[in-house]
Amino acid sequence: MPANAAELVALEALRERLVEATADEAWRRAEPTLISGGKSNLTFLVSSPAGELVLRRPPTGDLLPSAHDMGREARVQRALAGTDVPVAQILLIDEGGLVGRPCYVMEKVPGHIVRGDLPPAYADTPDRRRAMAEAFVDVLADLHAVDYQAVGLGDYGRPDGFLERQVRRWTGQWEKSRSHDVPEIDELARRLAASIPVQQRSAIAHGDYRFDNVVFAPDEPGRINAVLDWELSTIGDPLADVGLLMLFWREPGEEFPPLIPGVTNLPGFPTRAEILERYAARSGADLSVLDPYIAFAHFKFAVIAQGVAARSAAGAMGGQDFGNLDAEIRRLATEGLELL
């Protein structure tokens, strides 16, 4: 494990808290390992003779306003427990005593997190790939169908005017994290602000729904055991999730963004049009005016990429280095402009 992993999770204090939370003395021998792949918050696998848990904490260094809110992540997962949306059980929420900032510990859900390769048990037939895709889309539609008031999330966000506020928020994040001028980003922000679609309804929006943020069941491609990474979740326009899904869903012959490896361009996975058709059928949503949402997804992910680059350069990502992302940021902005 990295030399500073124990310090990043305040290991001795964490061991005591885990013993209290689980009533199991075996957690006094807990050891953390940084899980690679996380590009915003830091995720650690915490292992002991009692088993494995997962700890999530913000990166080190200065943080952008309203970003990396671990308390929100834990709250939404606790609220969704018992709904049709599968989530990990939250064992411990710490308000800042452990690492100086809020963090939480959750169960390690069994299954596969699919990034650049398919698990061998899933890779052999197109039917299994389609089953993965259909389960993935169905869970998103089920999330958007949850009565957020009934599960205690009525104050989790302001539903009205969601996309307008999101454009302002991510424009502000861009101004705070930019390292140089990118005229395409500035123009995309301007055009988005001038072309906000009418919001059809309000729902719990995940904010970063993609293949590597869910856990597929170990031997059942058509079942998802948990949805992860709720950092950007809020109450808002569910079509923002659909727009982001269209950005991440690659078809045969298309490449994935450098920060987001994936598998949906392999034979057997449905096309983007088929994904939208299934979501619309399950949710009842009107997807005829989706382009502004897809353009916003390009803008948002470009700003996220700039934030990753800035945090990596500042050494706040636990030693992870994601390379130069300038070309990717400009490409995303250019494609977003073409959609508008």
Provide the residue ranges of all domains of the chain, joining segments of one domain with +: 5-107, 120-339
Structure token pair of residue 221: 């491609």
When the pLDDT of each residue in the chain is averaged and rounded to a whole number, the result is 89
* pLDDT in the model for residue 115: 87
3 state SS of 141: helix
Instruction: For residue range 36-78, list pLDDT tens digits in order.
Output: 644 568 899 999 999 999 999 987 655 444 555 788 999 999 9
Decide if pLDDT at 205 tops 80. yes
Work out the percent of the chain whose per-residue pLDDT is above 90: 69
> What DSSP assignment string belongs to 47-95?
EETTEEEEEEEPPSS---TT-S-HHHHHHHHHHHTTSSS--PPEEEEES
pLDDT interval class at 4 (50, 70, 90) = confident
| Rounded Cα–Cα distance for residues 53 and 47 (Å) | 7
Find the mean pLDDT for residues 259-263: 85
Can 5-107 and 120-339 be said to share one CATH topology?
A: no
Q: Do the Cβ atoms of 160 and 236 come closer than 8 Å? A: no
What are the pLDDT digits (tens) for 211-222?
999 999 998 889
Least confident of 148-157, 177-186, 208-217: 177-186
Question: pLDDT confidence of 324, banded at 50, 70, 90?
Answer: low
285 vs 321: which has the higher pLDDT: 285
311 vs 34, higher pLDDT: 34
Please classify residue 20 by burial: count the beta carbons closer than 10 Å to its beta carbon, then call 0-12 exposed, 13-18 middle and 19+ buried. Answer: exposed
Please tell me the predicted confidence (pLDDT) of residue 107. Answer: 97
**Which fold is adopted by the domain 5-107?**
Phosphorylase Kinase; domain 1 (3.30.200)
Res. 335: pLDDT tops 90: yes
For the domain covering 120-339, report its CATH number.
3.90.1200.10
Give the integer Cα–Cα distance in Å for 45 and 28: 15
Region for residue 152 given its phi and psi (left: phi exceeds 0; alpha: psi -120 to 50; beta: otherwise): left
Residue with tokens 């009842």: 284
CA distance 340 to 337: 5
pLDDT tens per residue, range 145-154: 999 999 999 9
